[in-house]
Amino acid sequence: MPRRRPLYLLAVLAMLGQMAFAMVTTAVQQSPTIDEPVYVATAEVYRQQHSLRYNPEHPPLGKLIMAVGTAFAGAELDPAHPGDQTRLGRHLLYETGNNPFRLMLLARLPIILLTLLFGLVVLVFARDVAGPLAGLIALALYSFSPDVIAHGSLATLDVPAAGMLLTAFWLAWRARTRPTWYVPLAGAALGAALATRMSVLPAVPLLLLLAGLSTWRNRTDQRRRRLMIAVGAALGAGVIAVAVVWITYLLVDPRLRWTTPPGLDQIHWLKRLAVDLLPFPQAYQDGMLIQFRFENRSFSGFLLGEAYQGSPWYYLPAAIAIKTPLGMLALWSAGAVTMLVIPRLRAAALYVLPVSALLLAVGMAGERNFGTRYSVFLPMFLAVAAGTVALIRVRWARISTAVLVAFVAVSSLLTFPYYLPYSNEAFGGTDRTHLHLHDANVDWGQDLARLGQRLRADHPGEPVWLVYKGSGVPGYYGITARDPYTVPDDQVRGLLVVSDSRVALAGPRLKNWIASSTEIGNVGHSIRIYRR
């Protein structure tokens, strides 16, 4: 191994290097997605005003991490701005003289760095479980994952929360050898995940159980004493996690000034009771109630060419099947089977597979069919599982694994730099994702800057009618366009530019305009340009 170590390190650096290049390129080229201005503006309110009043439905830690970057932007924010969080985001980016390109890049860079660090966790976790080759296989799948690259390059919360949760389970696994060190660290990582997104809450009992199990296996005391120590370790990890959440809120506002928003008294009493029992700040509890209020609504969705109302249970598995490279799906499946079949891996499977299944089931039960970003934990945990195929001794296993990893890498590289709208070859590739999915799967408002460049280069001076879904301000990007809904249909002539999410859920008028137009191009595989 010592002779091979330089080659091993070189392979690791090459994979993380290409991932860093892909994420930074994406971050530089993309305009703000729908959620980002809210998070970035809230981060600036945390930093400048020490107030929790905005975006309470998500805990502060992810936004505090973004604030580390935005602190270098010198952004100005009106402390008396009267708008809601959506208007605040637009105000910060487009109405205060700040440079939105620079501000967004600085907010995205800390998330990019975190995403790369989580790659090292994937590497070491898989190496701990199944050896050095397993680590390389796992890192390859992670570093070429279009979903991880897409969302790891944005100032959003999905990748940070999933990566911190992965770190917690890895540390719980390591606690099998040194529980005194790793159980507290696992609790801290769990607390960081909880302080970033509430969606990780279902994994808490499982993590604490595994922390206790790791401690139990490490002890050789009498059974009753072992049990007491294991229970104490699990409770200690939970206390540390709760403390991290409280510390995060206190970092924003040491006095925890908070006013409960109106309308939360309409949440079902059982949900209210469950929330009230959580040992978290009132702002955290109210944020959970806001999330429950979102879940009580019915949303419009789009899957495999069909628009619908509601939330079919199979949406998330179908979206994952569309947006995950085929080689990755094959290796995930093979890795899961390997962990269950090989006796020495079954203990490790407890730290990888149940949490993946649990969070996927919770995601499938949700009402918001907005994208595979709600399952971005899968390319992390299942990469670790996939790495275990390195232990398969069947003939041609390693060659097959190498071919599948190469297939994943090629599929990922071919979509550069359009990772957000990626879909695999079985569904026609990135250019056809809009025919199967919508929203953050393909069109999250990220291509407004590219649209401005395309119109100036290819269609200067032509009349433009714009139906855009996103948080950007078209005029800032040099786009002079009119709203076709404000005039009679026969006046809508020239270029009709429509976001793919609007196409997917088009009403009668938009369907008529599109049907009587000719598609002449697309921007970033997320915006259609028609001539009418």
Pairwise pLDDT comparison (17 vs 276), residue with the higher score: 17
Kindly state the average pLDDT of the residues 161-185: 97
Cis peptide, bond prior to residue 254, ω within 30 of zero: no
Please give the angle made by the CA atoms of 504, 507 and 512, to the nearest 5 degrees: 95
Contact 148, 130 (CB under 8 A): no
* Start-to-end Cα distance in the chain: 65
How much of the chain exceeds pLDDT 70, in percent? 99
Task: Say whether pLDDT at 514 is over 90.
Answer: yes
Kindly state the average pLDDT of the residues 369-383: 95
Rounded CA separation 188/335 (Å): 28
Pairwise pLDDT comparison (394 vs 56), residue with the higher score: 56
Torsion angle, alpha carbons of 440, 443, 444, 446, to 10:
140
What is the tens place of the pLDDT at every residue in 130-141?
Answer: 999 999 999 999
Task: Say whether pLDDT at 1 is over 60.
Answer: no
What is the tens place of the pLDDT at every residue in 260-295?
Answer: 988 887 777 788 888 989 999 999 999 999 998 888
Kindly state the average pLDDT of the residues 495-504: 96
What is the tens place of the pLDDT at every residue in 227-266?
Answer: 899 999 999 999 999 999 999 999 999 999 999 988 887 7
Could you tell me the pLDDT band of residue 2, with boundaries at 50, 70 and 90? low
For residue 82, give the amino acid letter: P
Of 154, 160, 159, 199, the residue nearest 34 (C-alpha): 154
What is the tens place of the pLDDT at every residue in 293-348?
Answer: 888 888 899 999 999 998 999 999 999 999 999 999 999 999 999 999 999 999 99
Radius of gyration in angstroms for the set of CA atoms belonging to the chain, rounded to a whole number: 24
Rounded CA separation 142/116 (Å): 10
Q: Mean pLDDT over all residues of the chain?
A: 94
pLDDT at 269: 77
Least confident of 15-19, 96-100, 207-211, 473-477: 96-100
Kindly state the average pLDDT of the residues 357-376: 93
DSSP reduced 3-state for 289 = helix
Backbone angles phi, psi at 502, to 5 degrees: -75, -35
Of 469, 464, 454, the residue nearest 532 (C-alpha): 464
How much of the chain exceeds pLDDT 90, in percent? 86
Could you tell me the pLDDT band of residue 12, with boundaries at 50, 70 and 90? very high
pLDDT at 336: 98
What is the tens place of the pLDDT at every residue in 439-461?
Answer: 999 999 999 999 999 999 999 99
> 318's torsion region: left (phi>0), alpha (psi -120 to 50) or beta?
alpha
Q: Name the residue with tokens 């000719």.
A: 518
What pTM was estimated for this model as a whole? 0.95
pLDDT at 494: 94
What is the tens place of the pLDDT at every residue in 176-211?
Answer: 999 999 999 999 999 999 999 999 999 999 999 999
pLDDT at 223: 81
Contact 329, 141 (CB under 8 A): no
pLDDT at 3: 63
Kindly state the average pLDDT of the residues 58-78: 93
Evaluated on CA atoms 394, 398, 403, 405, the torsion sign reads positive
